Amino acid sequence: MTSFAVLIEGPVLQGQSFVSALRFMQQALEAGHSVDSVFLYRDAVGAASALIDLPSDEPNLSATLQQFCQAHQIPLLFCITAAEKRGVCSNEVKPADGYLAAGLAEFAMRLAKADKLVQFS
């Protein structure tokens, strides 16, 4: 059994990084592996925004990721520095439920406990 850490860097509203990461994690869990944590970095931190408001005909990958991680008890972390730079969170704007602010040091500590890192850009 392999333990994975997942790093997502691509934006939530375009590209395939979130869809691919979700598919990978689902298949890894089904195969008996574990996912120790998910870390959002660079443009991916936009998923942690509580202000995402999509039309009903568009998939809400931010909510899907949060629900998946909650259901499987996977810590869902986002880089606080990258989020502040992008206006995703601040003293006035809090992150969406289920998203935990973290620094690169915490990600590195969690990464040291995982067998492999899988990155989605």
Q: Is residue 5 within 8 Å of 104, Cβ to Cβ?
A: no
Establish whether 79 is a catalytic residue.
yes
Strands (E), the chain: 3-8, 34-40, 76-79, 100-102, 116-120
**Positions of the chain with pLDDT under 70:** none
Per-residue pLDDT at 92: 79
What is the domain-level CATH number for residue 54? 3.40.1260.10
Per-residue pLDDT at 91: 79
Put simply, whether the predicted model's pTM sits higher than 0.75 gets the answer: yes
**Choice among 12, 79, 83, 101 that is catalytic:** 79
Per-residue pLDDT at 53: 83
Q: What are the backbone dihedrals phi and psi of residue 49, each rounded to the nearest 5 degrees, phi first?
A: -70, 130
* Residue 103, helix vs strand vs coil: coil
Per-residue pLDDT at 55: 84
Domain encompassing residue 96:
3-120
